[in-house]
Amino acid sequence: MRGSETVRILYMTYDGLTSLIGQSQVWPYVSGLSAAGHQFDLITFEHQDRLDRIGDTVARDVGETTVSWHPCSFRSRPPVLAKILDLREMVATARRVAASDRFDVAHARSYPAADAALKLKRSSGLPFIFDTRGFLIDQRRDGNRWPKSNPFYRALYNRWKAKEADFIANADHIIVLAATARRVIESWPCYRGQPITVIPCCIDHEAFPVRSAQTRAEARARLDIAEDATVLAYLGSVGTVYLLPEMLRFFDRLRRVRPGAKFLFIGEHSADQLIATARSAGVTLGVDDLRLKFSEHGKVPFWLAAADLALCLIASQFSSLGVSPTKLGEYLACGLPVVVNDGVGDVSEIVKGLGAGAVLSTMSDAEMDGVVSRLDEILTIDPADLRERSQAIHDMPVALAKYRQVYDSVAAAADVKLKVSQP
């Protein structure tokens, strides 16, 4: 902090404050840093259905802080043009808000926000932080959302890769989710030696307690799961980068050794789709093998209490080097051991370092069987000890302290630059 002054931050994100990401990975950071003394103006893009459902509650929460919230409407139609209009609105809103007060730094969460922040820097000189949140453009290609074979998406990819280089070259500070991502960026020609801080996805450990015997029994009863059944859990969506067929194959190897095992999916999932995906992977799955539960974020720990082991398997590709799965911190905070795979950010190093479960280097049946054979050992990991070990990496106060350091250093550097430039 520059003396006793408050650092004023213009925080921009294309995620909505009413979205699951906004609730778990935007608002906890912003509200925590606001309570620590920083002043925020927050620009977000909200889906109307979410805004209708919980907008009043979110607005009430924001109103209890010093944060000024500027929600914009997220457009989904017409395709492509909607994104262009949203980007223009973000730039226009950022310029309007910036003109209304003096800010010390713009915090751009991911690529669309960085596009607006760079334009603002060029027009007003406001320094900006590029909070990458992973290699978004390559995630689009690797996940086949921007297929390389399609000329339009190939051009779009090239355009945004040029923008990415521009963001890296002109950011005053860069934040990444993993040390692997930092090493990648440091090797790029566009990188100009700015500070890079690693801040993995963190969570509020107070909101994810270790299960009690009573909570475990209640969750299992409500899910119709026998007390002695082995329960494998997966939390969240199964988008293009998550290895759903491999996760279903792992479950199949598990239930061969532990008949009666159940696979619990927490999120919006379809039994028919899971069964069809399993069939395509050579696995026969029945409805009774599954337990599906949609849950708002606040109830997730209750349902995780039913599980013995959790999965987080992500495609090992270039874009995965920048990944830090939020679900990993949530699993570990609840004391759940995990099975993960190599080639995903710092995930395997974290799991090995914490003694938190098992790491698959391949997806072969033999290696999966090797993990299953160690299951008795893995399930003896003490939940409370595992939670305590993970706090040094994934607890929200750890992330907030790092963000405070970043804000203070960028604001202080801008002060020095201003003083040097003054006659």
pLDDT at 237: 87
The verdict on domain 8-202+396-421 having CATH code 3.40.50.2000 is yes
- Tokens at 174, concatenated: 């860069």
Task: Quote the CA–CA distance of 113 and 94 in Å, as a whole number.
Answer: 10
- Tokens at 348, concatenated: 């395997």
State mean pLDDT over 376-396: 96
State mean pLDDT over 259-276: 95
End-to-end Cα distance, the chain: 25
Please, which pLDDT band fits residue 415 given cuts at 50, 70 and 90?
Answer: low
Instruction: Provide the residue type at 223 as one letter.
Output: L
Number of H helices, E strands in the chain: 18, 13
CA dihedral 321, 323, 328, 333 (to 10 degrees): 110
Task: Quote the CA–CA distance of 205 and 334 in Å, as a whole number.
Answer: 8
Least confident of 56-65, 163-172, 371-380, 409-418: 409-418
Length of the chain: 423
0.85 cut: is pTM over it? yes
Task: Quote the CA–CA distance of 247 and 363 in Å, as a whole number.
Answer: 9
Write out pLDDT tens, residues 24-44.
Answer: 889 999 999 999 999 999 999
Handedness of CA 413, 419, 420, 421 (dihedral sign): positive
Q: Does the pLDDT at position 314 exceed 50?
A: yes
DSSP assignment string, 45-89: EE-HHHHHHHHHHHHHHHHTSS-EEEEEEPP--STTHHHHHHHHH
Q: Is 205-394 the same fold as 8-202+396-421?
A: yes
pLDDT at 2: 46
Write out pLDDT tens, residues 47-88.
Answer: 999 999 999 999 999 999 999 999 999 999 888 899 999 999
Please, which pLDDT band fits residue 422 given cuts at 50, 70 and 90?
Answer: very low
Please, which pLDDT band fits residue 416 given cuts at 50, 70 and 90?
Answer: low
**Is 105:410 a contact under the CB 8 Å cutoff?**
yes
Averaged pLDDT score across all residues of the chain: 93
pLDDT at 289: 97
Q: Does the pLDDT at position 3 exceed 60?
A: no
Fold of 205-394: Rossmann fold (3.40.50)
* DSSP symbol at 145: S
Task: Quote the CA–CA distance of 239 and 2 in Å, as a whole number.
Answer: 43
**Is 236:267 a contact under the CB 8 Å cutoff?**
yes
pLDDT at 69: 97
Write out pLDDT tens, residues 116-151.
Answer: 999 999 999 999 999 999 999 999 999 889 999 999
Question: Strand runs (DSSP E) across 155-230, as ranges?
Answer: 173-176, 196-198
- Tokens at 76, concatenated: 């989904």
**Is 380:374 a contact under the CB 8 Å cutoff?**
no
**Is 121:170 a contact under the CB 8 Å cutoff?**
yes
Domain limits, the chain: 8-202+396-421, 205-394
